[in-house]
Amino acid sequence: MVQSRDAPRALAVGTYQQLPNGDGNDYDTGIHKLPGPTPLLQMDADRCTKIVIFPRSRHFGGTVDPDQMVEEPLKKARRIFLNPDNPLSHNALERLKYVGEEPISMELYQQDIRARFLEILEASGIEASQFPSIDEDEDFVKVYLPLKGEAIEHLAESLKFQMPFKKEAYESVEEHGPHLGRKPLANADGRVVVAHAPYDRRSKHLFEDFTQMDAIRILRHWFNLWVQMDEMESQGIIKCTFPCPVASQIRELHDTGLHIRNWFNPFFSNLIHPLRAYFGEEITFYFKYAAYLIYSFLPLSGLGLVFFLIRGFMPPSSIDSVKTALACLISIWAACISQMFSRHASRVQQLWNVKEKSKYVQNNPNWDEKGAREICTIVVNLATIAYMCLYIGVVAAILLRQYSAPEDSTFAKFSSLILSLVMKVGNILWTFLAPMLVKLENHRTQSEMEDKLAVMLAAVKLFVGNFPFFSQCFLTNWLEQTCAPNFPRAAKMVWPDYNHSAADDHTRQVLRTFAFFRYKKGERMVCFKGCYPSSWADAEAYTPTNCDVNVRSNLLTFFLLNFGLELVFLVVPLLLSFWEVRKEYWKVQLRHQQAASDDSSSEEEMAPYSFLQWEAKKFKYEFNSWGGDRINDFLDLAISYSVVACWGSICPLLFFMAIVFVSFSLRLRLYRMLYVTRRPSPRASAGLGVWRNIFNAINVFAVGANVGLFTVFFYPMCTYSFGTQLICFIIAEHAVLLLQAGIQFVIPARPADVVSIEYYNKHVKCCHQLTEVGPNARTSLNHIALPLVPEGAQTTSSGSDNECTDLAPPGCEMREDLACDALLVDSFGMPLRETPSPVQFYCLHSAWSSGSESLPSSTHIAAKVQWVGESHGGEAAVCSSPETFEDLADLLGVQPVLLEVALSTKKRKMPRGSIVSSPLTPNQAAELTQSIARSLYEALFLWAVRLINTRSRG
């Protein structure tokens, strides 16, 4: 239902006094100020699921030029309404009134597209209302999907939307085999995990009630089938669309995660589930993985801080020994960290019911079915390699200049800053180039395009961020060499203050370990390696090499610069958002001043800013937006993590700094998501997605880097020959990787509790979803007999005197006047023509004749008699005539009155096991009396004949 466009117009100006002021118990209504830097806001997000903002004409302050001509309007309309996965989506195109092959004005084009959009809303049973912005240049349409009612149930069932079971749904599940039944299981984290299943209106009593998160996702998936909102935004038909914010949830997230005492708190466990309830799993998994990395850094940060504090008291020769031990520990830690997170993430994935691949796929509107893809992919990959080679050349030139520049030169003083800036510039430049290259590959879905963009950006940016440190640690020693005809001249070139005559023999001998001979144009030269002691005078004792000093300086500069840029990219969008709000206020104030000057009697008070309009002024969560995006958030985390994991043993204080900076960075990002970023659609995610492979690759490289550091870079291994270093590196790396493989083999990625809960919840769903075949579909197999002893054959087994006693299950009693106190009806309600097996017996206990238990036993018989004559149809247990049921009662040895009650009631066995009874109509009883009597007597007669024959043969 779409409400009148003009009805809620007064909400914008002048009527806010009539709305409730609200209090702490009702934070989503009335007038409030959010905890962050926000103006006083009128809470107007009630009865709202999604907001769609339509700009007005330029003649009324909007952005739409009504006189602009739209070229190829039908082609553009197809991009909005035509979905290759929905064969009915072309219906909207057939109802277009003005759009065709010929160019039309923007006014007619937008009018036609907007009308079709409203028709889609009406056909879906979705409610909508409208109000103008505070400066009346835009129209806000509040799309509302009620959480109860036929509309949301129909959409959820059509989309096969997964919904969780209620805990009460487990109460009807009986214990079966290894499954306990009666209640859901809890995982090792102590959280109860319920089953999820596609929503079914016939079984809606099993499912939890719909939440706002469910309504937002259902609307998003439904819109994707019928209309491409992103394409409408790119064509200027709408300004933006976003899920309706919830003020109480924003306040909860602020109080939980942004309180002043939590800004440097590395623990985020109490924040994860509120984050998921508001932003969805995709964004939450980013915060969860970042928090996991912080937790895993805690032991290493403690060691790094202790090392930093006691370094001044340690013997110089022991410093690299500690670094070597730390590098060994980090290599083992990097080999195991992914497996540990996989175990924890599997519990969260099961709890939130997220899968590796989403069922709902959003098509790429720019996909061309005729576009060539393979050639473009090769070109894009070659362009990526070319960019990396270009970057290698630039970084190598800077490092060479840093190596050769005098220590007191200006370049030497700022070389670390220059290198860090080059790294950042290289990252930023590739951020703009990569999307253009990815578009050439013509990906069909948005997820494919985003994954390829993430891989391309990560490959280059991780290389850009780590190559300078890799070069200084492993390449400088062999590529940047200083050579001279003799040792004194070579030493003088390396150490400008070197005095050969002042150096004693032992010092000279130590210095010669860093030199080697090489022949150049037939002349023997004395060369020093690229990494040498910082001071020749202290070379006799341990002294750090120039490479060690430069790498530590570059690492610290990189981290400080990275943290500074984090602050910049938060503060700038916050100021821009504030500026947009103030601009609208100034426009309204100017309008009020003009109105007051024209009419001095007018004293209309200006309304406070709308909560929804404030949300609209924030920035979209998309790639390269001030509001941030998932790819760049993960990239920043991946780059920082790779630098610390690979090179942290050179400067162990980095682990402590990483915890502080990453913790603070996560709080900044949460602050950005609440007060700078417009609420994004809560997309589901099974975890890290493609980023799992990227972080696994980082961990593999971290193993190699740390093994290389303690076998090549640190003292005393740096003084060994290249052959010895290579052998030690190969042995150590293979040992760590073998340890990693052993850990992955011994510790499974999916914990035992996850597997048990998965099978148990499958059993629960089977119990609720499996139903018996309908009575009309049943067949009679009475003509098939499968006896153990063929008919007419003599048996040699020694049986008991009473065959029925052998066959009867425990609890059956024998009567002297009857062959057996048993009702010969099988589990499908059909009288047996052969001697029943013990499993098929339904015993008539002696309690039948008693008062209290007679009725349940009788109704149990009636519930099983559900077939009629030879037609096998009908659901009624049929009443017999008085003469017939008296004879039958006498034969069975029961009271006629109780048998009459049992056989005059229609029984229905419901799908969940319960039995509903209702009396038969006289017509039903009269029509089916003789059939049921004949069937029962025939079965009893055949059974008696077979029993007599068996006894006579015995």
Place 153 in a pLDDT band, splitting at 50, 70 and 90.
Answer: very high
Residue with the bigger pLDDT between 141 and 361: it is 141
CA gap 266, 24 in Å, rounded: 29
- Please state the rounded mean pLDDT for residues 523-527: 83
| Number of compact structural domains in the chain | 4
Asked whether residue 485 carries a pLDDT value surpassing 80, the answer given is yes
Q: What is the DSSP string of 582-617?
A: HHHHHHHHHHHHHHHHH-TT--PPPPPEEHHHHHHT
Place 873 in a pLDDT band, splitting at 50, 70 and 90.
Answer: very low
Residue with the bigger pLDDT between 819 and 712: it is 712
Among 702, 719, 736, identify where a domain stops: 719
In a domain, 606, yes or no: yes
Residue with the bigger pLDDT between 38 and 305: it is 305
> Residue written as tokens 């010895």?
724
> Residue written as tokens 């042995």?
731
In a domain, 766, yes or no: no
pTM assigned to the model: 0.73
Asked whether residue 146 carries a pLDDT value surpassing 80, the answer given is yes
Asked whether residue 253 carries a pLDDT value surpassing 60, the answer given is yes
Same domain for 264 and 378, yes or no, is yes
For residue range 652-677, list pLDDT tens digits in order: 888 998 888 888 888 889 989 999 89
Asked whether residue 353 carries a pLDDT value surpassing 90, the answer given is no
Asked whether residue 9 carries a pLDDT value surpassing 60, the answer given is no
Residue with the bigger pLDDT between 688 and 214: it is 214
For residue range 76-120, list pLDDT tens digits in order: 998 899 888 888 888 888 888 888 889 999 999 999 999 999 998
- Please state the rounded mean pLDDT for residues 360-387: 73
Place 765 in a pLDDT band, splitting at 50, 70 and 90.
Answer: confident
Outline where 1-95 has alpha helix (H). 73-81, 91-94
CA gap 673, 565 in Å, rounded: 17
- pLDDT number for residue 11: 29
* Host domain of residue 67: 7-244
One-letter-per-residue 3-state SS of 290-358: HHHHHHHHHHHHHHHHHHHHHHHHCCHHHHHHHHHHHHHHHHHHHHHHHHHHHHHHHHHHHHHCCCCCC
In a domain, 745, yes or no: no
Same domain for 115 and 156, yes or no, is yes
Asked whether residue 187 carries a pLDDT value surpassing 70, the answer given is yes
- pLDDT number for residue 175: 80
Q: Does residue 667 contact residue 257 with C-beta atoms inside 8 Å?
A: yes
Same domain for 516 and 586, yes or no, is no
In a domain, 732, yes or no: no
Closest of 297, 296, 303 to residue 322, by C-alpha? 303
- Please state the rounded mean pLDDT for residues 210-218: 92
Closest of 432, 435, 476 to residue 455, by C-alpha? 435
Worst-scoring range by mean pLDDT, 326-340, 596-610, 757-771, 843-857? 843-857
- Please state the rounded mean pLDDT for residues 378-405: 80
- pLDDT number for residue 811: 41
In a domain, 540, yes or no: no
Asked whether residue 939 carries a pLDDT value surpassing 70, the answer given is no
For residue range 671-712, list pLDDT tens digits in order: 899 998 999 988 877 678 888 889 989 998 999 899 998 888
In a domain, 731, yes or no: no
Mean pLDDT, the chain, rounded, equals 76
Same domain for 83 and 204, yes or no, is yes
Asked whether residue 206 carries a pLDDT value surpassing 80, the answer given is yes
- pLDDT number for residue 141: 94
- pLDDT number for residue 386: 87
Same domain for 346 and 458, yes or no, is yes
Residues 119-124: contacts with CB under 8 Å, at least 24 apart: 119/92, 119/95, 120/92, 120/226, 120/227, 121/2, 122/1, 122/2, 124/151, 124/155, 124/222
Same domain for 470 and 406, yes or no, is yes
By percentage, how much of the chain surpasses pLDDT 90? 13
Asked whether residue 900 carries a pLDDT value surpassing 90, the answer given is no
Number of alpha carbons in the 13 Å side-chain half-sphere of residue 787: 12
Q: Tell me if residue 141 falls in helix, strand or coil.
A: strand
CA gap 203, 555 in Å, rounded: 60
CA gap 626, 615 in Å, rounded: 14
- pLDDT number for residue 36: 77
Residue 566 to residues 461, 626, 636, 661, 669, Cα–Cα distance (Å): 17, 12, 9, 10, 9
> Residue written as tokens 């630039």?
394
Among 719, 748, 765, identify where a domain stops: 719
In a domain, 820, yes or no: yes
Structure tokens at 472: 């200084």
Worst-scoring range by mean pLDDT, 57-66, 309-318, 728-737? 309-318
Same domain for 114 and 128, yes or no, is yes
Same domain for 237 and 319, yes or no, is no
Q: Does residue 913 contact residue 794 with C-beta atoms inside 8 Å?
A: no
Asked whether residue 161 carries a pLDDT value surpassing 60, the answer given is yes
For residue range 422-451, list pLDDT tens digits in order: 877 887 888 888 888 888 877 777 778 888
In a domain, 213, yes or no: yes
Same domain for 324 and 408, yes or no, is yes
Q: Which of 28-42, 49-63, 496-510 has the highest mean pLDDT?
A: 49-63
CA gap 134, 145 in Å, rounded: 25
Same domain for 103 and 228, yes or no, is yes
Among 217, 244, 271, identify where a domain stops: 244
- pLDDT number for residue 792: 64
Same domain for 265 and 238, yes or no, is no
For residue range 579-625, list pLDDT tens digits in order: 877 777 777 677 667 766 665 544 555 667 789 988 998 899 988 88
> Residue written as tokens 């148990």?
760
- pLDDT number for residue 835: 37
Same domain for 636 and 650, yes or no, is yes
- Residue 711 is given by DSSP the state I
Structure tokens at 951: 């006894």
- pLDDT number for residue 51: 94
Cis peptide before 716 (omega within 30 of 0): yes
